[in-house]
Structure 1
Amino acid sequence: MTRLHDARMQLFNGKGNLYITKENTFATYTFEDLRAGEYCIVGSYPNGSYIPGKNDNKFNNGKFCTSIPPNEDNADFGMVLAQTYTIQGSVFYDVNNDGVLNTANLLNGATIEPQTDIGTNIQTLENVTGSYSFAVPQGTYCIVGRYPDGTYISGDHIGDNVFTNGKFCTQVPPNNLSAHFGMKKAPTYVLEGIVWDDTLDNAGVFDSNKPIEGAAMEIQFANGTKTGTVYSSQTGVYSFVNLLQGRYCVVATKSNYLPGFAIRDNVYDNTGRFCTDIPPSNSKAYCSMIKDEKYTLQGMTFNDKNNGVMDPNDLVKGVNLELQDNVGGVITSQQHTRKLLIRQPQPWTILYCGHLPRCKIHTQSYKAG
């Protein structure tokens, strides 16, 4: 007798409910501290390479039922090596999209995985070199195929190609020696646009007469993984070609420039980032940028007793002043004694209030420069 490892033993109560499961048993198994009652044990080998045997085996087709008490010390489970069958086929590039296998067009690099009929993965073959083969026990199996980088996708289920959307299911026996997988090149798409200088207008209106050359346009997957960088041309054009289906983000940067505001033709947000789903292709991913120039905004806080006429001898201390961008984002908020002096590279909004009893709330917008 040869002791067998890695079997799965499951204990069910008299009502058929699963009570305990023991995985990867080490040649023996024990279910302890059981209450009196009816029990059934179901044994199996996870990958199906062994099946229930006969002779000293107390199990009938992998199942043994008994009453407790008394103890059962000889619930031996005999298994025999299962007969195996072959599933094999070729992976080919379906050049003409007609499903006809041409051995001159065998495809390398695919991943092929056989699964049980409930989707449990049995094995994974990576970097398949044109053909694959599996030896499996009797049963129903599904073969799942894919190309890891997505440059090839499942071809149409015609001709020699038995796969549908990258999956083929079959029963063995008998052997299946024609489980061929035809693949075709995945469609590719383009993401492109123009980078322009919006410093003067800062309105997000595209102006082809103000291109920015040399802006770094970094394309990323949605999870932030970088996949490449291009630079805008003399006419401000940038382009990413041969993109596969997916979600992409582009981050725009250039020395001495800041992102423009995300309005109108500018599809980039205020951090210089733009995300989109591909397909379809996108040729209008326009990006505005503004020069990183510094300007000064300063003024006095005074007691307004004369309808807006400042008296330099009657200045007000302790006024809270808040600097905002043009969409209401707070840039800085400080308490100034008599004079406001702020240097920023963007438009601002100053909120201020005169001294009581003549208190006025006033908003004034200023443009950089």
Structure 2
Amino acid sequence: MKKRILVAPLNWGIGHATRCIPIINALIEQNFEPIIATDGAALALLKKEFKQLIFIELPAYNITYSKSKSSFKWRLFRQLPKIKKAILKEHLAIKKIVHEYAIEGIISDNRMGVYCSKIPSVFITHQLNVLSGMTTKLSTSLHDYYLKKFDECWVPDFENSPNLSGKLGHDFNTKLLPIKYIGALSRLKKEVVKSEFDIMVLLSGPEPQRGLLEKKLFVELNDFKGNILFVKGKIEGEQRIEKKQQFTIYNFMTSADLQQALNSSDFVISRSGYTTVMDLAKLGKKAFFIPTPGQFEQEYLAENLQTQGIIPSCNQKEFSLKKLEKLDNFTGFDALDCNTDFESLFKLFQA
């Protein structure tokens, strides 16, 4: 019998789900049987990628998000009691799942309640320090409370400089639990192909901010003279493709489509979510970042890469077509070697 490993990404946009794809593939290659547990768009996306696997729907956190940057953090903090209840509900569900499905290991990508003291449990995060402005110490300590319930923490980044996460994923109290830097995770591969699009817009993240940026970009890019591939990042039952003037519009893309599209686009406009950063770094792309308003992690990543002269960025309200002129003054990413030693990592589950 193959050992069954539960893989459970957080449903916050689709970044946590997509960066679990190489982990799921590696588990299959090394003769484990991955079982996927998540909810919402993350569940829908992984079902499209892995039709042969077992899927379990976990309780949703049902977090609501603000339209304004100023109230984003405080709206999240007001929902902490609800989030705590959801984590407890999630943990109770995991106890039952471990028993019913004979699970022998857990890999949780930012789902705090997905652990079990009876089997090896791994937590994946690039945020050892959870930035939230004046309340960073509080948000990090809340994160640590749950983190120490796991056996190991895998950080999808490089331990030393240069790295992608900066202070988010470094300078951490390693007494809490063992930390392993596993390199950048990406489901994509760099290919040398013919250029088809001048710009690729790649949207993701929670509503209402995803939709607000979609509307703004259609307006601001309307006068662009060139081909634009626009991926809305809306995971729906069927893939839809639409042509409007210079725009080729997809509601979503699977991994194979996305790999082809990114490799054949001159540069990318996107959020500065960490999974997107890893994907673009692996492919060696030029990009322009528009961080989600009020999301300190994305704002920090965008600022950090801009300061290094790699990727330009601006806030959502300020974006205009003219801002893209900044691209000439930035290097873009150098293509990264993202080979993770999964065989060594999975030894935790062989005991």
TM-score range, shorter chain: under 0.3
Instruction: Return the TM-score normalized by structure 2.
Output: 0.19
User: Given the two structures, how large is their TM-score scaled by the length of structure 1?
Assistant: 0.18
Q: Which has the higher strand share?
A: 1
Higher helix residue share: 2
More relative contact order, 1 or 2 (CA 8 Å, 6+ apart): 2
